[in-house]
Structure 1
Amino acid sequence: MADRILIVEDDTNAGLLLQNFLTSEGYEVKLAVNIKTGLRSFLADVFSMCILDCSLPDGEGFSLAKEIRLRNDHVPIIFLTARSLLDDKIRGFQSGADDYITKPFETFELLYKIKAILRRSQVQINGTKDACFSIGSYQFDPKNQTLSTGTMIKRITAKENEILKLLCLKKNQITKKDEILIALWGESDYFKGRSLDVFIAKLRKYFASDSSVKIENIHSVGFILTDQP
């Protein structure tokens, strides 16, 4: 699957030029023109990266970056802006940015920065794939496909293991239903969706002894795993 990139840029011409360039390089690109539509787009889809302008019609891109970071602590964020003051750069990094690029910029330099940041991001995600996760009073070991609490150890199926791992990687955040379906079955359709619902129901039963653990269904969007008391 192609990496999806969200661009939030109020200059429509500049945004379209960048969108067309990145699309020609194999990326899927969504363009938004302000904070409101940018955040709405981010919450409605799964993105590999966000590219934000600092000056937007309804506020500063720094506040949007903070909102994104509250919901997703690993998606890379690049600021692409005409604001070149050191104070702005510091605010950009403090708000959660991975890079800060000032306009005018070289298109291919931006492209290779995008590739490098996405490569590092993927290495970090892959590095957590076999890590153990704490879920309430449970320990989940995806490498050995086990879920344990106290003296109880339960071996779960391969599909249950993959689903739970995806939920853990986005704990307290929404994991899109389509994202799970494509990761597990390579496609998203009604029948695969019903199968996923069955697996989710089984996972809920495994956590029945700990009321703090919840796998909530966000209607028509996906699921969110939480373990708050």
Structure 2
Amino acid sequence: MSKILLVEDELSLAMLVKDNLEEQGYQVTHVTDGQSAIERFNLETPDLIILDVMMPKVNGYDVAKAIRTTNKNVPIIFLTAKVQVKDVIEGFESGGNDYLRKPFSIQELLIRMKVMLSETRLLTNEIKTEDKVFYLGSFVFDSRKFTLENGSNVRSLTAKESHLLQALCMQQNQTVTKESLLLAVWGDDSFFNSRSLDVFISRLRKYLKDEPRLSILNIRGVGYKFIVD
């Protein structure tokens, strides 16, 4: 069970995040100011830190700098409403590994945490090794073999096509953010990879077009929803 230090002075947001993380099996310690964050870190040595920037006593950047004097490896994810490039740069320069702007989706935070907590800082290998077969209307998708079967018709998928379809299948009938798909399949959410994602989604739609009970919806400004009736 991974131990998470959550540093957030906005109590309603902190409780929402804490509850969701605990539902996922994480052990969460919550503090509301920077000084308490440094003290708690020294006592507990968490596996990951979720760190607000604007806080009482000591701000998040200074908390990260203090932690980095003794620990260079613990992942730090900043949460902040600051959106200027200089703020993002300051976050990374102070020792942060990732930067999530408020408001954010819990789903996106969870996928970023999984990336930070994985040995390779990628989720690709985790997806490759999962042993799952999905029954999608008249289709059978075997993520082990990278195949999509429809009766006697068997289509061989590329590795990325298979990983992307699996990511959608695992969250079918739910809105999945572009960022979470990019991190899960490509390992980063750069603009170049975002354009590639759009191309791969179009391919999957073409492969599945003969099954009216299946559709991949574009949720404008957010991501996609894989509908399985």
Q: TM-score, normalised by structure 2?
A: 0.51
How far is 1:143 from its partner?
0.6
After TM superposition, the structure 1 stretch with the greater mean CA deviation from structure 2, 197-206 or 125-134, is 125-134
Q: How does 1:1-229 map to 2 (within 5 A)?
A: 9-10=11-12, 14-16=31-33, 21=41, 22=49, 23=51, 25-28=74-77, 30=79, 41-42=104-105, 45-47=108-110, 129-228=130-229
Task: Name the amino acid aligned to 1:175.
Answer: V
Task: Name the amino acid aligned to 2:142.
Answer: D
Q: What is the percentage of aligned positions where both structures have the same residue?
A: 29
Paired residues in the alignment total: 149
Partner of 1:86: none
Task: Indicate if the aligned counterparts of 1:4 and 1:29 stay in contact, CA closer than 8 A.
Answer: no
Point out where structure 2 has 5 or more consecutive residues left out of the alignment: 15-29, 42-48, 52-66, 68-73, 81-102, 118-122
In angstroms, what is the RMSD of aligned CA positions?
4.1
d(CA) in 2 for partners of 1:212 and 1:159?
23
Task: Indicate if the aligned counterparts of 1:5 and 1:49 stay in contact, CA closer than 8 A.
Answer: no
How far is 1:146 from its partner?
0.5
Task: Name the amino acid aligned to 1:9.
Answer: L
d(CA) in 1 for partners of 2:196 and 2:112?
30
d(CA) in 2 for partners of 1:140 and 1:149?
9
Give the SS at the match of 2:110: coil
How far is 1:219 from its partner?
1.6
Task: Name the amino acid aligned to 1:26.
Answer: P
How far is 1:43 from its partner?
5.4
How far is 1:28 from its partner?
2.4
How far is 1:11 from its partner?
9.9
Point out where structure 1 has 5 or more consecutive residues left out of the alignment: 32-39, 51-74, 76-114, 116-121
How far is 1:134 from its partner?
1.4
> For the structure 1 residues 161 and 44, does the alpha-carbon distance in structure 2 shift closer, same or farther, using more than 3 Å as the test?
closer
Provide, for residues 162-181 of structure 1, a one-character-per-residue CA deviation record: whole Å limited to 9, x for no partner.
11111112112222212222
d(CA) in 2 for partners of 1:180 and 1:4?
25
> For the structure 1 residues 135 and 143, does the alpha-carbon distance in structure 2 shift closer, same or farther, using more than 3 Å as the test?
same
